[in-house]
Amino acid sequence: MSEKLSFVNPTANSPWGTYLSQVDRVVPYLGPLARWVETLKRPKRALIVDVPIEMDDGTIAHFEGYRVQHNMSRGPGKGGVRFHPDVTLEEVMALSAWMTIKTAAVNLPYGGAKGGIRVDPKKLSLQELEKVTRRYTSEIGIIIGPHTDIPAPDVNTNAQIMAWMMDTYSMNVGGTATGVVTGKPLHLGGSLGRVKATGRGVFVTGREAARRLGLDLRGARIAVQGFGNVGSVAAELFAEAGAKIVAVQDHTGTIVNTNGLDLAKLVPISRTDGVVGFKAGGDIVPNEDFWDVACDILIPAALEGQLTAERAKKTTAKLVLEGANGPTVPEADDILAERGVLVVPDVICNAGGVTVSYFEWVQDFSSFFWDEDEINVRLDRIMMNALNQIWDTADKHKISLRTATYAVACERILMARQERGLYP
Ligand code: NAD
């Protein structure tokens, strides 16, 4: 956050600043609804909480936690919880705002929210991790709930953490509230297909974008940054479709193999040792070299702000699929557009996760669970309908897919705002 603590004064090059400039670009396409656009430039509500826990060695540690509800015009808040040592309020604000745009872009009946704790979970024991999760959940319990704001997994959080969150919230309200979080384990009201949903959505939108570009996936060279839940699943699906995964980067380093990495071996090794653990399968190269590797498709699936102007100038990719939230800075967006590189923006490309989270929430309320085929068919249909509508909007106005996605989403959000009116 900038010196003057304010929603509208972003720190230079911050994700929140990126988001605000993305909103500015859509204003000319909003018509009379533009009078409401300021409501998108500030979160509805931002909560900062202290998370104190007793560590295994008897010391008391304090962590800073956040939950931001950006916009709830179209429904309850929805968005993940991130555990990372660099999490800031300003980052969570941006992530919550991107959720508002994303849920509207795929037309789910949600607003946008996000949470995070400034902690390195890799430095905690399992017991400490559980304590941090439970205390954080209890602190944000005053604003979350199945009908108000529904958290989910994000970077460094998973189904076990969602189970602890669901249990803590349930204990506090006296009942079993499965619908308070999504991304839960299957036997606690989780949904089939949720773990792979985001990577699958990246694949479905990427396959369609490649088809429209005339880019054959068989033999296409793909570079993937971030090899967690999103990046590894997307990589596997593209490899199944015949593509070659020529470079992968995670927090441990970068591995390159121009003949294609053997994912059946790389995926399990990466889970324990990171991608550099698979030395036998490729060359370990300096991290900056990742952006020079010759490829047809680039999938940033790690953190925001990774695709900078410099990197945008040198990538050889014809298609960028934003698995991560906010990976491309606005200047890089312009450079990619000038160079004729098509970007499928995060707010549609990685919307598969929140879509199956929506299915999970619906299934929890009805206590009736669907099989995986049904989930995947519905997911593919929603993603394809959303992408086609956005593509038509982009063609009509001759604008980027990102601005078209914002145009479609902002119209839905601001129309809801206008119809609801301002209280009081
Ligand atoms: P994850 O924790 O499963 O994986 C994150 C990956 O990024 C790991 O491979 C990690 O090693 C790598 N990474 C971290 N720091 C890095 C760095 N500095 N350089 C290179 N790699 C780095 O997280 P995830 O769920 O796969 O999320 C990845 C991105 O996708 C995030 O931007 C997240 O917000 C977004 N996203 C996730 C979901 C979801 O359902 N999980 C949904 C939508 C968007």
pLDDT digits (tens, 9 = 90+) for 279-297: 999 999 999 999 999 999 9
Domain 197-349 fold is Rossmann fold (3.40.50)
Give me the residue spans of the domains in the chain: 15-176, 197-349
pLDDT, average across residues 9-30: 93
Of all protein residues, the one whose alpha carbon is nearest to atom 4 of ligand 1 is 228
CA 20 to chain centre: 17
For 76-89, give one letter per residue: b (16+ CB within 10 A) or e: bbbbbbbbbeebbb
Q: Ligand 1 within 6 A of 201 CB?
A: no
pLDDT digits (tens, 9 = 90+) for 111-142: 999 999 999 999 999 999 999 999 999 999 99
- Å from CA of 423 to ligand 1 middle: 38
Beta bridge partners of 299: 224
pLDDT digits (tens, 9 = 90+) for 320-360: 999 999 999 999 999 999 999 999 999 999 999 999 999 99
Burial class (CB in 10 A: 0-12, 13-18, 19+), 25: middle
pLDDT of residue 5: 62
E-state strands within 327-410: 342-344
Of all protein residues, the one whose alpha carbon is nearest to atom 36 of ligand 1 is 324
pTM for the whole structure: 0.96
Q: Ligand 1 within 6 A of 324 CB?
A: yes
Of all protein residues, the one whose alpha carbon is nearest to atom 37 of ligand 1 is 154
pLDDT of residue 4: 66
pLDDT of residue 7: 82
Let me know: does 73 contact 413? Beta carbons within 8 Å: yes
pLDDT of residue 121: 98
pLDDT of residue 13: 83
pLDDT of residue 3: 59
Count of residues in the chain: 424
Q: Is the pLDDT of residue 254 over 90?
A: yes
Of all protein residues, the one whose alpha carbon is nearest to atom 27 of ligand 1 is 155
- Res. 225 pLDDT band, cuts 50 70 90: very high
Of 258, 253, 285, the C-alpha closest to 269 is: 253
Of 323, 246, 338, 254, the C-alpha closest to 288 is: 254
Considering the four listed CATH numbers 3.10.20.10, 3.40.50.10860, 3.20.20.70, 3.40.190.10, the one that applies to the domain covering 15-176 is 3.40.50.10860
Beta bridge partners of 297: 222, 319
pLDDT, average across residues 148-155: 97
pLDDT of residue 63: 98
Count of CA atoms in the C-beta half-sphere (13 A) of 257: 15
- Å from CA of 214 to ligand 1 middle: 29
Which of 78, 102, 114, 244 is flagged as catalytic?
A: 114
318 part of the active site: no
Residue carrying the six token digits 């990197």: 311
Do the two domains 15-176 and 197-349 of this chain adopt the same fold?
yes
Q: Ligand 1 within 6 A of 226 CB?
A: yes
pLDDT digits (tens, 9 = 90+) for 176-208: 999 999 999 999 999 999 999 999 999 999 999
